[in-house]
A = this chain, B = another copy of it.
Amino acid sequence: MDGLPPTLEKVIDGFSKFPGIGKKTAHRLGLHVLKTHTKEVEDFAQALLNVKSKINSCSCCHNIAEADLCEICSDQKRDKSIICICEEPSDIYLIEKTGFRGVYHVLGGLLSPLDGIGPEDLQIDSLMERVKSATELIVATDASIEGEATILYISKLLDSHPIKITRLARGLPVGGHLEYVDEATLTQSLNERVDLHSEV
């Protein structure tokens, strides 16, 4: 970009490193900083620094946390006997919107032998500890090969353990049209069809 002060260039560069932000958007955001009140920009910069210095991993579920335990693990009203297993902390906030009231366990990845990610790279040991006091385990991983591999691995580990293990249903997206659904989804949807009588 011709003629931009180097200081502003740096901010634009910074913005463009975020996912989904291209050069043009970064440019617009950078120019917006100029128009923003100094106090507001200072607060934002401080908040960015605080996130890196104050936030760590929950010692129980490996979700992001400011204290030793995350807000979910330290909430007495949550049902600790149902553990939902996620890949990343960001998945938790998607599931929270469904109204789920159990607790979580963040694996920190999915099994992927091709990428060299084995069970020892994931938070599986600590999961096995927690499983002892739980009644149901919901494996909420992506519907990908890695997600399936991870579900399979965890369910095998717990083969001899008297615990209910479930995974998210596969099927038609709510509001989706049949004609736009791919073959694999439709096949799963058919296989996992629900009895109308039992549903009510």
Q: Across the interface, do B51 and A7 meet the contact criterion of CB distance under 8 Å?
A: yes
Residues of B close to A18: CB separation below 8 A: 29, 32
| Cβ-closest chain B residue relative to A73 | B3
Task: Give Cα A116 to B7, complex, Å.
Answer: 33
* Chain B: minimal CB distance from A145 (Å): 23
Task: Give Cα A10 to B52, complex, Å.
Answer: 13
Q: Interface residues of A: mostly helix, strand, loop or mixed?
A: helix
Give the contacts of A12-32 with B (CB-CB under 8 A).
13-14, 17-21, 25, 27-32
Q: Across the interface, do B49 and A45 meet the contact criterion of CB distance under 8 Å?
A: yes
Q: How many copies does the complex hold?
A: 2
Residues of B close to A31: CB separation below 8 A: 89-90
Residues of B close to A182: CB separation below 8 A: none
Q: Across the interface, do A47 and B10 meet the contact criterion of CB distance under 8 Å?
A: yes
| Cβ-closest chain B residue relative to A88 | B31
Q: Across the interface, do B41 and A51 meet the contact criterion of CB distance under 8 Å?
A: yes
